[in-house]
Amino acid sequence: MSRLLLPLEHDPRTAEQHAEDTLLHALKRLPRRVQQVFLLGRLDQLGFAAIAERLSLPLLSIERHMNQALQTTREPGDALASVAIQWYVRLQSPQATACERIDFRRWLDAAPEHLHAFHQTELRWRSLLAPARQLGHDGWYRQGRAALSLGGCSIAIGLGAAALLALGLLA
C-alpha cells in the first residue's frame, strides 16, 4: 500500500508573509543606530539632512547607515543589486552632485540589467514598509541619541554618580 502525497496548495499570502518575516529578521540584526536611521527615513519619511540634524550625525554617516540597511535586504552575491542600492542611496543625499547624477544616468543606460536592478531596488524600498512598521511599532527610533546607547552611557553615568556620591560621603 502506498500513500499519495498531494502537493499543498501554494498560498501567495503565506509566501508574502514569509518574505516580510525574512526582511524583518534581517533588519533586526542591524546595529541600533542603523535601524534608527532606516526607520526615520522609511516610516517618518525624513530626508537625509533632517535625519542628520535630528541625530547630530554627518550626512555621510546617514548615507552609510541607509546603505547598510538596504544592502541587508538584497540577495547575497548579487553584485548588480549592490551597485543599484548604492546609487539609490547616493541619489537621496543632498550632497549628490550633478556629475554623480550624470554618472548614474550613464550607468543606468549602459545595460538593461542596470535599469532592472535599480527598479528592483525601488520596489524593495517600498516592500520594507510593513517590516519597518513592525520594527518601529513602539516609536523607540524617534528618541534621541542617549536612548540608543543605554549600555555604555548609563554605565558610565552610573559609575560617575556612584563615585561622586562616594566622594561626597567620604569627604
Q: What is the pTM of this model?
A: 0.74
In the block, residue with C-alpha cell 547598510: 68
| Higher-pLDDT residue of 2, 60 | 60
Q: Evaluate if residue 155 carries a pLDDT over 60.
A: no
**What pLDDT, on the 0 to 100 scale, is given for residue 21?**
83
Residue 67, number of CB atoms within 10 A of its CB: 19
Nearest to 129 by CA among 73, 47, 75, 49: 73
| Higher-pLDDT residue of 167, 65 | 65
Rounded to whole angstroms, the Cα distance separating 47 from 95 reads 12
Q: 30-66: b or e for each residue (b if 16 or more CB lie within 10 Å)?
A: beebbbbbbbbbbbeebebeebbebbebeeebbbebb
**What pLDDT, on the 0 to 100 scale, is given for residue 20?**
79
62-67 long-range CB contacts below 8 Å, 24 or more apart?
62/37, 62/93, 63/89, 63/90, 63/92, 63/93, 63/95, 65/33, 65/34, 65/37, 65/38, 66/37, 66/38, 66/41, 66/92
Rounded to whole angstroms, the Cα distance separating 143 from 145 reads 7
Mean pLDDT of 158-168: 64
83 in helix, strand or coil? helix
Q: What is the pLDDT of residues 67-87, one digit of tens each?
A: 999 999 998 889 999 999 999
Q: What is the pLDDT of residues 15-32, one digit of tens each?
A: 667 777 888 999 999 999
